[in-house]
Amino acid sequence: MFSSRVPGDLTPNRLTQAIQQVRAAGTPLIDLTLTNPTTAGIPYPASLLEALADPAGLRYAPNPLGLPAARAAIARDYARHGINVAPESVVLTASTSEAYSVLFKLLCDPGKDAVMLPVPSYPLFDHLTQLDGVRALSYRLEYEGRWAVDFDTLDSGWTDTVRAVLAVSPNNPTGSVLTDVESEELGRRCAERDAALIIDEVFADYPLERREAAAQHRRPDCLTLRLGGLSKSAGLPQVKLGWIVVDGPEVLVRGAIERLELICDTYLSVSTPVQLAAPALIDAGVEVRAAILRRVQCNYRELQAMTAAHRAIEVLRCDAGWSAVLRVPATTSEEDLVLGLLEQDGVLVHPGFFFDFPHEAFLIVSLLPQTATFKAGMTRVLERAGA
């Protein structure tokens, strides 16, 4: 999906037309924007979805926050990351995108309140805030050997209408992970200014660089809402299950869960079969997750090795996730470079401005394609971008 607010004349329609023309001509297209693991040649156990056929799913007995067994399974799974979660603090949603909508309803008055969003980041957040009538304000991530929160832009952009700060860790597409210091600073600011902290952790299972051991988890000072889902953690975007983990001071957690129960009871969007299957899907997802991790780590190593011969092209440090960022010579615009790769080389990549990079020239590539395909596509990218 390309944003509707891109600069110049590389509009979604123009890009779509270019893709259609390439395909109509029969030109093989290497898609280095791939984000769907089910089409990436990842091996899935044939029995993986059998748990969805539980006969208990024939009976409808809704629980607004989710069935207890599913919430307990998600809480147990957080222990892998050293985070102690009580099942009662888990709220189920049909997807992470829906979780955002639920939280915007929880925290914000439409047409009045605002949420602070990181940039660079995925443009989906702009659409989600607009659909819920929430104003989007931005703070920057800056790169100096690693991506870091620019707290000056956070503080200068903050207004009295801000009700939440969104942090994406690992970020898409930068792959940056919040440090303990950054997490504490974000939490402190939110606590002092009566705002909530939303932390999107959907890519947390896919480290690309060695990380320092995380500090022992402690209860944050502000209302903190962690987001996850089966789409990434088990490679199952078609099995719609996301979740919110509510953390923070007890009085704030209790009040938030009470209001979330009312919001979720209004929609009851999470299907019974997927809730019943959640414990089995989480357990079985280990195998799929491991296969995806091997793929993205392998492609990340290949990318680093391939770019070593191109001094003018830099792979920016990526801690985790499914994407990598290339800084390339700004000898032509990102628009022309992306269209040249598509129309002349049969390779589809994202330009940096799609993610609100502050200047040119950056390309973002997915690490998810099969390695032979990835190497073939990157060979063409490096030849054109480094020319």
| pLDDT one digit per residue (tens) for the chain, 387 residues | 333 334 334 455 677 788 788 778 887 899 999 999 999 999 999 999 999 999 999 999 999 999 999 999 999 999 988 899 999 999 999 999 999 999 999 999 999 999 999 999 998 999 999 999 999 999 999 999 999 999 999 999 999 999 999 999 999 999 999 999 999 999 999 999 999 999 999 999 999 987 665 555 678 999 999 999 999 999 999 999 999 999 999 999 999 999 999 999 999 999 999 999 999 999 999 999 999 999 999 999 999 999 999 999 999 999 999 999 999 999 999 989 999 999 899 999 999 999 999 899 999 999 999 999 999 999 999 999 986
Q: Where are the domains of the chain?
A: 12-43+286-385, 56-284
Closest alpha carbon to 319 in 299, 300, 347, 341: 300
Asked if domains 12-43+286-385 and 56-284 share a fold, the reply is no
Angle between the 371-385 and 272-307 helix axes, to the nearest 10 degrees? 50
- Are the C-beta atoms of 195 and 163 separated by less than 8 Å? yes
Question: 204-227 burial, b for 16+ CB within 10 Å, e for fewer?
Answer: bbbbbeeeeeeeeeeebbbbbbbb
Residue 261 one-letter amino acid: E
Q: Are 92 and 70 in contact (CB under 8 A)?
A: yes
Using CA atoms, how far apart are residues 92 and 141, in angstroms rounded to an integer? Answer: 30
The C-alpha angle with vertex 76 and arms to 73 and 82, in degrees rounded to 5, equals: 150
* CATH number assigned to the domain with residue range 12-43+286-385, chosen from the 4 options 3.10.310.30, 3.40.50.300, 2.60.40.10, 3.90.1150.10: 3.90.1150.10
CA atoms of 175 and 168, how far apart (whole Å): 9
DSSP conformation class of 8: T
Note the CATH architecture for domain 56-284.
Answer: 3-Layer(aba) Sandwich (3.40)
Cβ neighbours of 8 (radius 10 Å):
12
Instruction: Return the bridge partners of 138, or none.
Output: 117
pTM over cut 0.95: no
Q: Is 128 helix (H, G, I), strand (E, B) or coil?
A: helix
SS3 state at 372: helix
Q: Which of 237, 251, 294, 268 is nearest to 66 (CA)?
A: 268
